[in-house]
Structure 1
């Protein structure tokens, strides 16, 4: 895949870039390693000052970088601005809280004595150079939620971003440089996917984090496993959105529309499978379908646009194949199901709701990465849980109920890294983020995410 900015609203190639050659890669990896030896000793308050400076710069650049993201991958520009603001917030969150999150831990005095030590503690030390392989759908946020905690912990980063967002990738390197981070603390590698293995196998690279597709995750995990290197993987998701009889159906339906089409439906944590109790199925289906049908499709740079184009022509083709397969197998199209009229250029697809979906349809088990929802009717809580778990993925989940007993059951039984009640899944720096099953392993964000790339070290001292 060429490294290029191709505007998905028009299909126009805006800019192209040459991939780094072997000498350039070597130079950057060497710089990263040598920088780490110094940066890891920088006091926490200085790291925090640098990260706050980066947040200030990002706030200043918000409108411009939002336009860049929208031009590169098609998200509505208002959502792009919100993404930039969220990144600045996360930087400040880690700058403020890192001293507490990285503070030494002191075991109970009785346990220290029982071990034969005079004193003992647990300290958090950085691992070193971390390779981040990141996707295009949240081109700032996916990177910052790794970079902010990693840099605060004393690590340095190498970014291999998706090849269709090179301008955003280069902006990130420039941002950290302008903030005052040492040369080599955060570098962008403009390389293709085939070059990732060589970087990951380099002994100077200590670990890797990847957000992306399941095949990409398997490839990186395989190489990292062979090299015995730590990895964190956040892969696909097909999140359930369960609505029970006690729910506020109107609010659930309104939220469901946003939960499905955020980022033009191209989000791993977007709700994709809508599982509704038969007592409220008709009311929810009517309101949800009407909301999806009312969305404005248009130029993502226009403020009034709700849904822009998919990021790539291939992505739209994959989505069309899933919908066509379901329809041919008997699914009912309640709205959408085709390319919208009036958009001769660009990779647009209508917000779509499919009912009567069955397990023999591909879309039942595969992730629909675009504004397509599947709607299911269930008779009771047990059937809802079974259907929600009938997926190879387990990233997050959404449940609408005001019954405390049901809340306990869903919390206990849903196979997912998060359970969000009476709201939609969202990431926040205070809460760990990640999944189970084929959605990956490890956690990002919160103290858990920061500690993923720390050497958690026992310090034991005898007499």
Structure 2
């Protein structure tokens, strides 16, 4: 942007929300200001839900579950198919809104909506594949089998960095499994949640009244609203995405009432570059994984172990990429790096870089960048930190574009360092040595839920179960057989004979 405040995102945002079906009164007169990180300007004044509101939404969702579970699963899948159609028809508008409210570049905003569409397709097929096993039994003339039943209200707590896709990953699966859904989005991205809720309302209308009222609820607000969702006994499952600090609180609360948790938390993700790596491929993959989305992905690359034999070939080229990357308005073509979400993210980044210097790190980049004189927006140049040892801030996740680069000599030692931090969603190795690749994906290798070869750690696909943050043992909300987390299993035994096996010698006087 060449001039400060040369355009207004607020008017465009209102137009998008209105076109998607959000009532104008939901965008004004509230106590919470929704802002765009692109300019820092206010977009709307939304209304937070009260504790009484939350109680009522959860009650309606529980009542809806009792009816929704009675519909055949393929019929439930029809609603998700209709949701996918609404998302396809409105992909451009919702993707644009994601970019405006979360600060993502245009392709990533659209890509997030595409993930929503993909999971709808996946869930529609899943609605005809909720299989149980027939089990061999030791008893004659008996049949034993497992069946899967809906669990109840599914609570979803999502983060700002994927403001709509995370809800879809959960909701599409939960709905076909027979559950209702209550969503508490990030207080930093309420507008995309309102838009998504409006699109679901359109799908429900096309479903012609076969879905009960309250099947999908939306709760806007801060921590107190989320705590109500976590504490309510009518919510047997909560899927929460966010920081590990948040996950520890949520996990403990759910465990206290024996509820289920799906936790996808922070990821201090790492990659290893071996002497045989294709350095051109590695350079592109590392640069995108570390800098894309301004380092605000749960799968962003944050630690890089480079073999000493190729260190001087790769790292100077990485520095060149860091110095030349396009930073600016994410809505403009050619921009790769948009803004940090807010000042808190900027301050956390600067604190981490200061700590890295205290540990002997050499910092390249990391400074604030002026974009159009927008003093309320926080654009930064991604930071590359050369550091000798994994210590201090390297062992903690900072949700910002910081890449710590460390040399290594022995692959086993590098894998040990790779696994030494408690956080980790995803990981990568760059190598053309088959043995190194197989070691990395073996039980002796990466301890993360995703372990990739010759591809960066970001970009998980819908079909994989993801694996989850290693500190929690949690799993992703979609893919593979993760649908089982949204259902309860029962084992059934049917006696089709005329006798009942009893312990030897036991007799009854039946008269």
**TM score, norm. by length of structure 1:** 0.94
Q: Secondary structure at the match of 2:249?
A: helix
1:375-406: CA deviations, max 9, x gaps? 11100211211221121113111111122211
CA distance in 1 between counterparts of 2:279 and 2:326 reads 23
Q: 1:175 to 1:399 in 2, by over 3 A?
A: same
Task: Tell me whether 1:389 sits opposite 2:413 in the alignment.
Answer: no
The alpha-carbon deviation at position 161 of structure 1 amounts to: 0.6
The alpha-carbon deviation at position 71 of structure 1 amounts to: 1.7
Q: 1:202 to 1:98 in 2, by over 3 A?
A: same
Q: Of residues 445, 460, 463 in structure 2, which corresponds to 1:430?
A: 463
The answer as to whether partners of 1:246 and 1:403 remain within 8 angstroms in 2 is yes
1:405-454: CA deviations, max 9, x gaps? 11222122221111111112322121111335435523422133211111
Q: CA RMSD in A?
A: 1.7
Matches within 5 A, 1:28-47: 28-47=57-76
The answer as to whether partners of 2:69 and 2:150 remain within 8 angstroms in 1 is yes
Aligned residues: 455
Q: Of residues 253, 263, 286 in structure 1, which corresponds to 2:293?
A: 263
Q: Of residues 354, 363, 385 in structure 2, which corresponds to 1:354?
A: 385
The answer as to whether partners of 2:449 and 2:470 remain within 8 angstroms in 1 is no
CA distance in 2 between counterparts of 1:310 and 1:153 reads 37
Counterpart of 2:12 in structure 1 is none
Counterpart of 2:98 in structure 1 is 69
The alpha-carbon deviation at position 159 of structure 1 amounts to: 0.3
CA distance in 2 between counterparts of 1:29 and 1:90 reads 24
Counterpart of 1:230 in structure 2 is 260
The answer as to whether partners of 1:271 and 1:398 remain within 8 angstroms in 2 is no
Q: Secondary structure at the match of 2:146?
A: strand
Q: Of residues 134, 137, 140 in structure 2, which corresponds to 1:106?
A: 134
Q: 1:367 to 1:178 in 2, by over 3 A?
A: same
Q: Secondary structure at the match of 2:170?
A: helix
Counterpart of 1:93 in structure 2 is 122
Q: Of residues 107, 116, 121 in structure 2, which corresponds to 1:78?
A: 107
Deviates more, 1:179-188 or 1:390-399: 179-188
1:100-132: CA deviations, max 9, x gaps? 2x122222xxx32x1566111111111010111
Counterpart of 1:298 in structure 2 is 328
Counterpart of 1:119 in structure 2 is 143
Counterpart of 1:214 in structure 2 is 244
Counterpart of 2:348 in structure 1 is 318
CA distance in 1 between counterparts of 2:275 and 2:334 reads 34
Deviates more, 1:191-200 or 1:170-179: 191-200
The answer as to whether partners of 2:263 and 2:469 remain within 8 angstroms in 1 is no
Q: Which has the larger radius of gyration?
A: 2
Which structure 2 segments of 5+ residues have no match?
Answer: 1-30, 497-511
Which structure 1 segments of 5+ residues have no match?
Answer: none
Counterpart of 2:281 in structure 1 is 251
**TM score, norm. by length of structure 2:** 0.85
Counterpart of 1:282 in structure 2 is 312
1:28-49: CA deviations, max 9, x gaps? 1121011111111212222222
Counterpart of 1:409 in structure 2 is 439
Q: Secondary structure at the match of 1:131?
A: strand
Task: Tell me whether 1:49 sits opposite 2:78 in the alignment.
Answer: yes
The alpha-carbon deviation at position 321 of structure 1 amounts to: 0.7
Counterpart of 1:205 in structure 2 is 235
Deviates more, 1:435-444 or 1:367-376: 435-444
